[in-house]
Amino acid sequence: MDELIIDAHNHPNWKGHNLERFIENMDKFNIDKTWLLSRETPSDESDPRSLYVYPDFGEDGPLSFRNCLSFYERRPDRFVLGYAPDPRRPDAIDRLHSAINLYGVRICGEIKLRMMYDNPDAIRMYRFCGEKGLPVTVHIDYEFDTGSKYPRPNWWYGGGIDAFERAVKKCPDTYFIGHAPGFWAHISGDDQFDKVPYPKGKVEPGGDVVRMLRQYPNLYCDISAGSGCNAFERDPEFAKPFILEFQDRILYGRDNFNNQHQDMLSKLDLPEDVLDKIYYKNALKLVPLD
């Protein structure tokens, strides 16, 4: 297979990118395939200040599976289909099962919910994903005061790294992909993870991300969004050894439409075979192309 670039984390119809603009953006940055992820964060669990970037709000928004499917059906050559129903729904597993059978869903993602990620309903869905061969992409955020009382004083998702670790441990046959500020802040063993969303400064020994990647072979991570870049750019001297150690479990992803992640990787002087793993081989390991 010729070399590819697979964006393992993005969303349809958001930040002004309809299908035409999305494909143009992929072509601009030489991206061959994109994993299209839904997000069923309920409207009362979403920061209203971010509504302007989302196409949907309601029962299946703000990033609906409906829009993922629309993109995929029109350009199946460029997209891999993801879907993550809210596991708190009594029909969540049935919905996911139907989407696998009817539409060929390959990834369970993105889960971004105001719940503990190891609650029993979520564990049931993760184990179902393991049975069906779907990796699970999760978003973690800690509480940071917004200065407002309503609609929420903060916007936390997942219950922190401890709840996520319990889920990873309880579901050894399911592959998980960690993502977002509340995951990547734990690359360092300092105490900044619940103080600021994007910690700066040298990475200290003892980070939970490092420990968990060593301990759990079913844990992967994607470098998408500002949090992934920040984790590496805050300490480039740490970033390269980290990537070399975990080269088999790091995925390239953007969660955006800029090129900051390719720019960041190009500065680290990584071997070509390692870059190939990050750009596409690790994604193909989890979700082979037909």
Note the pLDDT of residue 1: 45
Strands (E) in the chain, as ranges, are: 6-10, 33-36, 79-81, 108-111, 136-139, 176-179, 219-222, 250-251
**Are 75 and 19 in contact, with CB atoms under 8 Å apart?**
yes
Per-residue model confidence (pLDDT) at position 60: 86
In this prediction, residues 266-271 reach a mean pLDDT of 96
For 162-180, the pLDDT digits (tens) are 999 999 999 999 999 999 9
Provide the whole-model pTM: 0.97
d(CA 15, CA 143): 24
Residue 73, pLDDT > 70, answer yes
Reported residue count of the chain is 290
Q: How confident is the model at residue 2 (pLDDT cuts 50, 70, 90)?
A: low
Q: Give the whole-angstrom CA distance, residue 177 versus residue 168.
A: 10
Q: What is the mean pLDDT of the chain?
A: 96
Instruction: Report pLDDT digits (tens) over 122-163.
Output: 999 999 999 999 999 999 999 999 888 988 999 999 999 999
Predicted confidence (pLDDT) per residue in 15-57, tens digit: 999 999 999 999 999 999 999 999 999 988 998 888 888 878 7
Rounded Cα–Cα distance for residues 67 and 36 (Å): 9
| Residue 117 confidence (pLDDT) above 90 | yes
Residue among 275, 249, 273, 241 nearest 261 (CA): 275
Q: What is the pLDDT of residue 57?
A: 76
Quote the pLDDT of residue 268.
96
Radius of gyration of the chain (CA): 18
